[in-house]
Homo-oligomer: A and B are copies of this chain.
Amino acid sequence: MSEAMQHVGGAEINLGEAELKALCHKVLTRHGFSKPHVEAISEALVAAEMSGSRSHGLYRLMGFVATLNNGGVMPKAVPVVEDAAPSVVKVDAKGGFSSLAFQQGAPELVSKAKANGIAILAINHCVHATALWVEIERLTREGLVAIACNPTQSYMAPHGGSQPLLGTNPIAFGWPRGDGNPYVFDFATSAIARGDIELHRRQGDEIPLGWGVDREGMPSQDPTEVLDHGAMLPFGEHKGSALAIMVELIAGPLIGDMLSIESTEHDQGKGSLPYHGELIIAMDPARLSGGNTQQHMLRSERLFDMVKQQGARLASERRYKARQTHQAQGVTLSRALYEDVMKLIL
């Protein structure tokens, strides 16, 4: 047991990056995930935890194990990478978590994008595991611009409707900034992440108007009503709704995979993590800028500066600040979370 782990006693526990990773490894190995899955998932969970993205951090381990116990994920799935067209890589995740499928398809995506200017990675038959920005950062490190999205399950009504149909369908984007941290955003097309409504429920709080409707389609501030009987709502009214529909289509039927409603049907009420496809587009500035690539890319710095000068926040700043802090000081987990995770290795 590490020095940090010996500090368990109070309400919180502090762990460094290596300790977080060791803990993830232990849990996932204990539950029968193959070594490549253990490594891919641990890397993504620890990256999220280190970046202050708690909803995609170690907390996910409980959902992973529950999904495994439901038969909702294949712990030893071996992804199959297919060179489907000059600018298309397809990876069949074979029912495993998405992280390994992404890792195995990424090198081919990078080389196709660099050779052809733009390329697409379509992951099929994967179980949603981690935040998209983890994958986006992998691509910006190669100097590529990237967009990723996936459907989830039918939690959300389209704008103007009242029944759950669409997923919370995240869209993520990344822009490389030389040696600096990339500009990255990653958000649900719902008004708020599902996890935030769940958090309100756990804490017995009302939710703000605009997040969801009740079973009658009327605005509701009751998290249980919205989550279990009504529907979540899209961000930005008809525009966010249209974007959520776009994600359904391009990361669903376009790549031969499921809509959110089909994923919900597939789950048969087991409450597993969403089983779906994922779409990642990568673009190479060197092939698109028409020369003077570095000079053009640097012009974006003026935009970022002007955003910050007027007091607005750049999408990814909070994440990088958290990362810096956590690298220096470790991550503080609540005692409750730590004990829940420890129960998984009993």
Residues of A within 8 A of B (CB): 82, 84-88, 90, 115-120, 122, 124, 145, 147, 157-163, 165, 173, 175, 183, 185, 187, 189, 235-242, 245-246, 248-250, 252-256, 259, 261-262, 281, 283, 285, 287-293, 296-297, 299-300, 302-303, 306-307, 310-313, 315
Contact = CB atoms under 8 A, between A and B. Distances in A.
B173 A242 contact: yes
Contacts of A90: 288, 290
Contacts of A175: 246, 249
Contacts of A240: 235-236, 239
B158 A259 contact: no
B185 A246 contact: yes
A162 B287 contact: no
In the complex, the count of this chain's copies comes to 2
Nearest to A300: B253
Given A88-B288, A175-B249, 18 more contacts: A82-B290, A84-B117, A87-B116, A88-B118, A90-B288, A122-B288, A122-B290, A147-B246, A158-B307, A160-B313, A183-B249, A185-B246, A235-B240, A248-B303, A254-B283, A256-B292, A259-B302, A259-B303
A307 B165 contact: yes
B238 A84 contact: no
Contacts of A289: 253-256
B239 A288 contact: no
A81 to B, nearest CB: 13
Contacts of A235: 236-237, 239-240
Contacts of A250: 145, 283
Nearest to A236: B236
A85 B283 contact: no
B310 A161 contact: yes
Contacts of A291: 256
